[in-house]
Structure 1
Amino acid sequence: MWDWFVTTLRDHPAIALFLTVALAYPLGTFKYRGISLGTVATTLLVGILVGQLHIQISHNVAIVFFLLFLFAIGYRVGPQFVRGVAQDGAMQALFAVVVCAVTLATAYGVARLAGYSIGYGAGLFAGAATASSALGLSTTAIQALGMPPDETRSMVGALSTAFAMTYIFGTIGPILIISQIGPWLLRIDLAAACRAYEKRMGGTSHGSGTSWHHYVLRTYRLGEASSLVGQTVGEIEAGPGRSRCFFDQIRRAGQVIDATEATELKTGDVVSVAGSRSGLRALFATGTEEVEDLELLAVPVAGVDVVVTKRAFDGKTLTELAHMAPTHGIFLTRIRRGATGEDIPILPQTTIHRGDILTVVGQPQRIRASIGAIGRADFSDDQTDVSAMFFMIAAGALIGVPAIIVGGVPLTLSIAGGVLFAGIAAGWQRSVFPTFGNVPPAVIWFMNVVGLNLFIGVIGITAGPSFVAGVQQVGASLFLWGMLVTTVPTVFALLIGKYVFRFDDALVLGCCAGAGTSTATLGLLADRAGSQVPALGYTIPYAISNTLLTIGGIVIVTLL
């Protein structure tokens, strides 16, 4: 039975590949105290185990999945990458560039010091930096060196061995250093720093919510003693220092009328008003009676995700947006930003950027009136512009083909690098011109997760036979060198982020997590702070580092 099973896998390697991912994925998603080994590491290890059966899979299979994965990376980080380089995130972008340069330099120095070959050195860089995409570009770069097939296979095997041995601490190390050691090293009380930041940004001492976020709909009857009688709806809604509130309808003499800005309130009116609980209590504290008018309360409320694309909204704070006509009568409940869709705290001074996804609620007609001014409704969750997507992949690959020979070394962006930049261009273009190249988040997730894991599975199965020999050759020293390559740039990032770039104490740890592309670290920081403020420092460094570390896979091979 066993012989039949092994023979079947050798004759049909596709079965071995799918079996590898099926076994590895649940292991990689298992978490202990918020820490997970990750699906990439487990897929590689299971692939290496399956590879002991000497199963041969064409590299062309791997490259197809890898190109889909690279395009997905570029598409996701495109808006933040362009904004970080060109606009207000310049300091955070520069910070990420410096951290990536130190990571590459540390890996290169250690590889030279330890006397590692190109394969081990490139794998050390990719694993210690948890740059799975760099592994693919290093593989492509090694295969482009023109060495004999046996030597190429041996070098790719060494690459996979080094990646597998260093990736584990590469994943866990930044989590421990940034979230646990970082606050002590930098003398930061993260929770207090986030509360102080929220206060400076106009938030309250009760958390990051504002009247944009916590809203209710109530109905009140106005008595003769009410200070609101005789005022117009517009005057009340625009009152200085008043919490954000909106009048919807009025019952007057048994008739229900719409509340316009020019409507003057009268004694006996029953009004329906939306706003924060505290704001409504203060507004209707005297001369009014809360009543239960079911007709006025039966207002259909819709929730819609809106992608910000209009320049008029780009760079505006929530306070500024609250006084713009298009936001009248709608409430903001969520802001998502960046490649990983991180939640951004809703604070009066929070700045909105093009590409942000705003979740707004309110009456359907008011939302419809606001969408055109803000951007576009994010309803397109099931239609993929397949033609545009594959054309961009093909165009990027063609751009990456040409090579320049310098000192006998071919310098090229490579097909993979070209596809990465094509994805960045497509993602940015989509955020600015929403009619172009839609790829829904679910499809991007599939290309990202499945594409990468199938690629890593092929690498692991192919490198399986040489893995044991590689471990015997380099021993535990490779793991220890990997710890050094992970630790040095991470500690360096903490120190320069605090003392050179002088990021706010509430943001500096998020910036370090982004520069290290460690999403798990950001999650622990948010839990420790009890706030989403660290995410404000995460998105731009993440986009820059994700791109530069990927390209580093080619650079490290060239340097070595």
Structure 2
Amino acid sequence: MDWLQSLLWDPSSVAHIVLLYAFVVAAGVYLGKIKIFGVSLGVTFVLFAGILMGHFGFTADTHILHFIREFGLILFVFCIGLQVGPSFFSSFKKGGMTLNLLAVGIVVLNIAVALGLYYLWNGRVELPMMVGILYGAVTNTPGLGAANEALNQLHYTGPQIALGYACAYPLGVVGIIGSIIAIRYIFRVNMAKEEESLKIQSGDSHHKPHMMSLEVRNESISGKTLIEIKNFLGRKFVCSRIRHDGHVSIPDHETVFNIGDQLFIVCSEEDAPAIVVFIGKEVELDWEKQDLPMVSRRILVTKPEINGKTLGSMHFRSMYGVNVTRINRSGMDLFADPNLILQVGDRVMVVGQQDAVERVAGVLGNQLKRLDTPNIVTIFVGIFLGILLGSLPIAFPGMPTPLKLGLAGGPLVVAILIGRFGHKLHLVTYTTMSANLMLREIGIVLFLASVGIDAGANFVQTVVEGEGLLYVGSGFLITVIPLLIIGTIARLYYKVNYFTLMGLIAGSNTDPPALAYANQTTSGDAPAVGYSTVYPLSMFLRILTGQMILLAMM
């Protein structure tokens, strides 16, 4: 029976370690699906499964636990960075600036409340443990990993801060959703009116492509070429088809417009009224029934050499006789601006004769199977650069120890930059959502399992004999107070729509259960938009601020 004893109890046995992680992850993920009052903890339950196994003595060598923990964290934050990179900088534009400022306010107030409680308890809770409670209260696991990394730099040997995290996390999830509900009743939000307000706001989507058929009625443009009309009007649009004397053709820049010509125009919704007034009037016309056998087809960009090229540089009209009317990227339709940068994974809407469209398909690739091949090089080049960046010491005045982005911050920053600017280095950053999610989930469950197993031996003693209830209460205050303050400011001063505010609250805490609750309350996507707008900056700040607190104050 020696083999069984080794399998179950030998912390240096590879078989034991794999068996332990497999059980902890499987049990944690399964139990995490159980809903209590409509709320589930998701993969975070892996942490509690790990704590349970660690409590009963099932563990692994410390250096192995640390390696798996850090590798899992690196995988998770890098995939997060790749996903949010393209939207990170654009999230600061227009209304996104207000939402991000409010999210920064939540992050700052979380820290302020945590430090206030640290001084209020007057030594009952150590600073590292309060940081662990802070990250449990805001349900941010990568921040916990970054804080652990900072403590390693400081050679910290005190209690595992994951104990504070585990105590605060459950009420953190409940507190976030509870704050959302409390704001609704405090301000007597009328859900129907908020829905109607959203519909009115969404009518101003001037980046979406708008398609229309126009008849030339303006005599001042009769006899003018397409390029002359574009230059004079000063608005961007694509004329993909023209019907002259009953014959349909694809216009080029030198095509002359005449009174009575019928045009198929694609433009932004913002420019549509001006174009209609300038050219003539809108008409109903079924272009599929016209005499020229033309097709419109979405072509998938799969060739790596196309990655990073602008639409205008491809010369589709002059070289192939086709027009590109719009681009679909990650489910969103974009107007075919000549300066738009093409990326692998884009779906390009092309209009032209069948043979010309086929030639363009060959140029762009249009082979779905290519997208199924993971771009491993980009991932590991990014991780390599991220580790180098995270290891660089950055000195700040007043800080006794130089700040390092660490194994969490470095890969996150590099991944965001690669996700946004990778095409300029001809790095293919496209990853299917399922592949990205798979890597993220593997990374986070490995991290949570390692933290739980490592902390399990002392967890019960801390909660029962130590300050466990104080940790729980502190976490709840850290969660609720900032959300109620910023929620009040957002509603009274900035007039933020309630559904958008729900997404803002969930995103600033990087909390998927709260987003899931918000999505159940509306038929629209406002919570998801609010969440995605503030998520990148919030995640970035959550990962860095804990390290800065520890390095500055210890």
Shorter-chain TM-score above 0.5? yes
Give the C-alpha shift of residue 551 in structure 1: 1.5
For residues 371 and 171 of structure 2, the distance between their equivalents in structure 1, rounded to whole angstroms, comes to: 39
Q: Indicate whether 1:392 and 2:396 are aligned.
A: no
- Kindly report which structure 2 residues correspond to 1:235-246, keeping only aligned pairs within 5 A, or say none: none
Q: 2:144 aligns with which of 131, 135, 138?
A: 135
1:408-436 Cα offsets, whole Å, 9 max, x none, are 666544343333323333223226x2612
Q: 2:507 aligns with which of 506, 514, 535?
A: 514
1:520-556 Cα offsets, whole Å, 9 max, x none, are 4344434433212344433231111111111133134
Q: 2:103 aligns with which of 96, 105, 117?
A: 96
For residues 361 and 104 of structure 2, the distance between their equivalents in structure 1, rounded to whole angstroms, comes to: 38
SS in 1 for 2:89: helix
Give the C-alpha shift of residue 137 in structure 1: 1.5
Give the C-alpha shift of residue 121 in structure 1: 1.0
Shift in CA distance, 192/146, structure 1 to aligned 2, threshold 3 Å? same
Q: 1:455 aligns with which of 428, 441, 447?
A: 447
Q: Structure 2, unaligned stretches of length 5 or more?
A: 267-280, 313-320
Q: Indicate whether 1:53 and 2:57 are aligned.
A: yes
Give the C-alpha shift of residue 378 in structure 1: 12
SS in 1 for 2:472: helix
Q: Indicate whether 1:110 and 2:117 are aligned.
A: yes
Q: 1:177 aligns with which of 168, 179, 182?
A: 179
- Kindly report which structure 2 residues correspond to 1:342-381, keeping only aligned pairs within 5 A, or say none: 361=349, 363=351, 380-381=371-372
Give the C-alpha shift of residue 497 in structure 1: 2.0
Q: Which moved more, 1:190-199 or 1:136-145?
A: 190-199
Q: Indicate whether 1:438 and 2:445 are aligned.
A: no
Shift in CA distance, 264/274, structure 1 to aligned 2, threshold 3 Å? closer
For residues 166 and 498 of structure 1, the distance between their equivalents in structure 2, rounded to whole angstroms, comes to: 28
Give the C-alpha shift of residue 246 in structure 1: 8.0
Partner amino acid for 1:28? G
Question: Does the aligned pair in 2 maintain the 1:173–1:486 contact within 8 Å?
Answer: yes
Aligned to 2:32: 28
For residues 120 and 31 of structure 1, the distance between their equivalents in structure 2, rounded to whole angstroms, comes to: 29
- Kindly report which structure 2 residues correspond to 1:207-286, keeping only aligned pairs within 5 A, or say none: none
Q: Indicate whether 1:42 and 2:38 are aligned.
A: no
TM-score by length of 2: 0.70
Q: Indicate whether 1:14 and 2:31 are aligned.
A: no
Aligned to 2:412: 420
Give the C-alpha shift of residue 469 in structure 1: 0.7
Question: Does the aligned pair in 1 maintain the 2:11–2:59 contact within 8 Å?
Answer: yes
Aligned to 1:339: none
Question: Does the aligned pair in 2 maintain the 1:84–1:92 contact within 8 Å?
Answer: no
| Percent identity over paired residues | 21
SS in 2 for 1:35: coil
Give the C-alpha shift of residue 441 in structure 1: 4.1
SS in 2 for 1:440: coil
TM-score by length of 1: 0.69
For residues 117 and 105 of structure 1, the distance between their equivalents in structure 2, rounded to whole angstroms, comes to: 16
Aligned to 1:540: 533
Shift in CA distance, 424/43, structure 1 to aligned 2, threshold 3 Å? same
Aligned to 1:497: 490
Shift in CA distance, 454/249, structure 1 to aligned 2, threshold 3 Å? same
Shift in CA distance, 181/527, structure 1 to aligned 2, threshold 3 Å? same
Q: Which moved more, 1:26-35 or 1:14-23?
A: 26-35
Q: 2:85 aligns with which of 72, 78, 88?
A: 78
Give the C-alpha shift of residue 489 in structure 1: 1.7
For residues 390 and 488 of structure 2, the distance between their equivalents in structure 1, rounded to whole angstroms, comes to: 39
Partner amino acid for 2:429? N
1:427-458 Cα offsets, whole Å, 9 max, x none, are 23226x26126362455433322112101111
Aligned to 2:71: 64
SS in 2 for 1:301: strand
Partner amino acid for 1:20? V
SS in 2 for 1:116: coil
For residues 510 and 516 of structure 1, the distance between their equivalents in structure 2, rounded to whole angstroms, comes to: 10
For residues 542 and 311 of structure 2, the distance between their equivalents in structure 1, rounded to whole angstroms, comes to: 34
Q: 2:162 aligns with which of 160, 163, 166?
A: 160
Give the C-alpha shift of residue 97 in structure 1: 1.8
Give the C-alpha shift of residue 301 in structure 1: 3.1
Q: Structure 1, unaligned stretches of length 5 or more?
A: 219-226, 276-281, 314-325, 337-342
1:255-278 Cα offsets, whole Å, 9 max, x none, are 9976889699999xxx99899xxx
For residues 311 and 173 of structure 1, the distance between their equivalents in structure 2, rounded to whole angstroms, comes to: 47
SS in 2 for 1:182: helix
Question: Does the aligned pair in 1 maintain the 2:299–2:361 contact within 8 Å?
Answer: no
- Kindly report which structure 2 residues correspond to 1:471-482, keeping only aligned pairs within 5 A, or say none: 471-472=463-464, 473-482=466-475
Question: Does the aligned pair in 1 maintain the 2:249–2:292 contact within 8 Å?
Answer: no
Question: Does the aligned pair in 2 maintain the 1:384–1:438 contact within 8 Å?
Answer: no
1:264-296 Cα offsets, whole Å, 9 max, x none, are 9999xxx99899xxxxxx9777xx9x8996998
Partner amino acid for 1:135? L
Give the C-alpha shift of residue 163 in structure 1: 1.2
Give the C-alpha shift of residue 504 in structure 1: 5.0
